[in-house]
Chains A and B, each alone.
Chain A
């Protein structure tokens, strides 16, 4: 596509805006089938739930700032940590990453939309439905589920209210719906990547983000059926008295743990893989160098997908598992650090010797990488069974996975939001507020989550509403960090809202980045490309002076070098 064709884009001149046209803000509140609209719908919906889940966490940190259970009832605390975990995973990380996949994949592979646009909209509109179910469970008698986000039986089967509609049954319904929505999304994204790449975009010309999204969505396809089946079986045990997992009736509670973790461990890779993809996109742009070892970085995502299916028992090292099983899964778990290590080294080598620009996305990506590295090291420690026996179900694990989920994932998502914000909205964000946001987030996250490691080493179990006074010091620090993280969202919200309304208009390619999404206007027109580009080179041609797409767009690509 040439500049000329962009200027001739019809939406500006036509009196009636098209449903998906970038100047029609009402489209964000409609059943739109435009992948860009759905992507932004996912991201903003998820962010609202992120704030809600964060609020729950701040109440928890308020309870934990003193050893005694003296702020909220124990039942309320148990409901809070259950819903905090559930909302952060099912309502924030999955949807926000699906939002980025939706927005970016068609643009990056040179497609006009997803393979199944209507299915895409259906998958999105299920998110607010099960989100409302989850939030509604706070207002029914007995409150929401209080069995933790794992919902292990027999605790999850106890139902003290005796009602058929209770927090646990609504929770299971929401999780099953979330599973269906994610499977629909996965079918769509995988099909899109397989079938709708632009001419010339072979597998090894596809951006790393698309590789990681593919790897993540394949996990959804093989893993989610296990979780959804487990949730339905548990719902049957709870509501109609079957005995899959109820030991009083001869059921096996450990079987549930296998169903649950067979999906929920790979789910961590569903979350972290696209963030790896974001890192792989962002480091080259702000270092002005090609992604180091692109092909092996791309393939390592698929290796992680395969290995992720063989590690779930590491969540059960202290559970009902025999010694041989613990040893087997210790080795498989450790192996997954090899492809992950390849990526980390590749990012370091990408940054090394570059022309680095520490703008907000780069700061968040670097901060996220350092925090991910830390969580990776504690992850290897946790894989070592004898050490895990000590810290399993303690705050050490909580600290570890918050470094993954907040340190790497939330920081990576923030990096991605800033990086693609001009593309999505056609406006530039404010750099100063972005840097303030980074500083508060980085300090807050470390202050909140680092102290959890010493707490866990000393033996403080997770999920406790009260604790022995020996843990008080580190808990006070963690609580202060938690409140700081709450504050850190304020400059972000201010930045995004004000710049979306009146920010400086963004050019098509404000970062001089290489990639098909940067060849179209900001925001991209309806159906993205007037003329589908023909890709003629690998995706990260920084410093190589080779055009990304064939002329007539060729001269556009060379401008970016």
Chain B
């Protein structure tokens, strides 16, 4: 390799690296607002992956484009190019580097997942596990541990509504309210099919499997109103199975709990039921049967989807 080629290659590599770093920084803007501690970790990982991915993409497409533009055969030249069948050094390098790279990405992802600690199926909250372990040794201490953290908010998914149950206050709501900067502890269950709890602004997601109770945790860090969506296809009105998460200050949260507790339970507005009973006619309507939506949840607090979207 001549000195000139080495110079050109290095200059290209530096240019690609700078572009990749810039694109990697842009990646933060492609995501929803960072409303949970987990979202910060996930976005850092995504930015890292975008940086590396951009470098690889530029390197390879750049090379291909150069070939396709400058290494064309002349119109009547049907002769062969150089009969190069391979190069062992090069082949070892392009096996070893990707191998090292994916191990690096894997280890980094592992660390991030560990820090997120969102639990999920068969992983149980330290709170619950500790409570049980202590309970066997000394029952009195177990009750102390129980009191220090509030019990899990029960998330009940069904076709097609979300219902949130706050055991301490004995209230239910179709809107999830959480205090900011506190670990949110959820217990997920489904009454019919598999649903998926997904809050894009939190970057967390977990399928809610019927017949299982799943512990799930994250920490909201930004006050606001965010969308909570069903992420696992759950039948006819799946797309309408959305609600809101409200992250608020501790005082506002306590106020909300008090207001909700004062309300008597009423049937919440429900999009699936409204559409099912209306049977509104679309241009292409074939009358295929749908599973009948479950009755609207009877809750202490509900908000209208009309205020939000659509």
Contact = CB atoms under 8 A, between A and B. Distances in A.
Contacts of B11: none
Nearest to B55: A377
Contact of B98 (A341, A354, A544): A341
A393 B106 contact: no
B138 interface: no
A370 B63 CA distance: 11
A358 B72 contact: yes
A318 B106 contact: no
A393 B195 CA distance: 11
A318 to B, nearest CB: 5
Contact of A74 (B42, B71, B287, B290): B290
B68 A366 contact: yes
Interface residues of A, number: 108
A322 B118 CA distance: 11
Contacts of A295: 86
Interface stretch (A140-148, A169-177, A184-192): A140-148
Contacts of B86: 292-296
Contact of B210 (A146, A253, A331, A561): A253
Nearest to B49: A381
A68 interface: yes
A342 B227 contact: no
Nearest to B66: A352
B286 A465 contact: no
Contacts of A386: 38, 41-42, 45, 109, 112-113, 116, 203
B236 A380 contact: no
B288 A380 contact: no
A387 B285 contact: no
Interface stretch (B73-81, B141-149, B173-181): B73-81
A543 B82 contact: yes
A477 interface: no
Interface stretch (B2-10, B88-96, B126-134, B255-263): B88-96
Given A79-B288, A338-B99, A393 B205 contact: yes
A158 B207 contact: no
Nearest to B30: A457
B56 interface: yes
A356 B73 contact: yes
B196 interface: yes
B211 A247 contact: yes
B300 interface: no
B84 A292 contact: yes
Nearest to B233: A463
B207 A355 contact: no
- What class of interface size applies to chain B in its complex with A? 35 or more
Contacts of B112: 386
Contact of A143 (B207, B283, B286): B286
Contacts of A321: 120-121
A72 B207 contact: no
A471 B86 CA distance: 47
A320 B213 CA distance: 11
A347 to B, nearest CB: 9
B140 interface: no
A155 B99 CA distance: 40
Contact of A390 (B53, B72, B79, B200): B200
Contacts of A296: 86, 91, 95
A288 B289 contact: no
Contacts of A154: 192-194, 210
Interface in A241-281: 247-248, 252-254
B123 to A, nearest CB: 5
B288 A390 contact: no
A561 B79 CA distance: 7
B85 A338 contact: no
Interface string A125-157: 000000000000000011100111000101100
Contact of A73 (B60, B192, B211, B282): B282
A280 B121 CA distance: 43
Q: Which of B41, B192, B239: most chain A CB closer than 10 A?
A: B239
A356 B110 contact: no
A483 interface: no
B240 interface: yes
A15 interface: no
A293 B91 contact: yes
Contacts of B77: 355
Contacts of A247: 209-211
Contact of B81 (A74, A288, A322): A288
Contacts of A318: 196, 205-207, 231-232
A273 B81 CA distance: 27
27 contacts: A76-B284, A146-B288, A152-B232, A253-B211, A288-B81, A292-B87, A321-B120, A344-B60, A352-B63, A352-B71, A354-B67, A355-B72, A355-B73, A373-B60, A373-B61, A380-B102, A381-B50, A384-B106, A384-B109, A386-B112, A387-B49, A389-B205, A390-B203, A392-B231, A462-B233, A464-B238, A466-B310
